[in-house]
Structure 1
Amino acid sequence: MLNEFKQFALKGNVVDLAIGVIIGAAFGKIVDSMVGDIFMPLLGAIVGGLDFSNYFIGLSKAVTAGNLVDAQKQGAVLAYGKFMTIAINFIIIAWVMFMVVKAMNRLKKQEAAAPAEPPAPSTEVVLLTEIRDLLKK
Structure 2
Amino acid sequence: MFAEFRKFVMRGNVLDLAVAVIIGAAFATITKSLTDDVIMPVVGWIFGGFDFSSYFIRLGPIPEGYTGSVNNYAALKEAGVPLLGYGAFVTTVINFLILAFIIFLIVRSVNRMLARFEHQKPEVPAAEPTDVVLLREIRDELRKRPAE
Give the partner amino acid of 1:54.
S
Larger RCO (alpha carbons 8 Å, 6+ apart)? 2
Q: Is the 8 A contact 2:43 2:52 kept in 1?
A: no
Aligned to 1:4: 4
Kindly state the Cα deviation for residue 88 of structure 1 after the two structures are TM-superposed: 0.4
- For 1:15, what is the secondary structure of its paired residue? helix
Aligned to 1:71: 76
Gaps of 5+ in 2: 64-68, 128-136
1:86 aligns with 2:92: yes
Greater CA radius of gyration, 1 or 2? 2
Superposition RMSD in Å? 2.7
TM-score (structure 1 length as normaliser):
0.77
Cα distance, 1:112–1:93 mapped onto 2, change above 3 Å = same
TM-score (structure 2 length as normaliser):
0.72
1:37 aligns with 2:42: no
> 65-74 or 95-104, which moves further after superposition?
65-74
Aligned to 1:60: 60
Q: Which residue, 86, 104, 118 being the options, matches 1:98?
A: 104
Whole-angstrom distance in 2 between the partners of 1:77 and 1:3: 50
Whole-angstrom distance in 2 between the partners of 1:136 and 1:46: 89
Whole-angstrom distance in 1 between the partners of 2:75 and 2:6: 51
Aligned to 1:125: none
- For 2:100, what is the secondary structure of its paired residue? helix
Count matched residues. 127
Whole-angstrom distance in 2 between the partners of 1:17 and 1:96: 19
Give the partner amino acid of 2:25.
A
Bigger fraction of residues in helix: 1
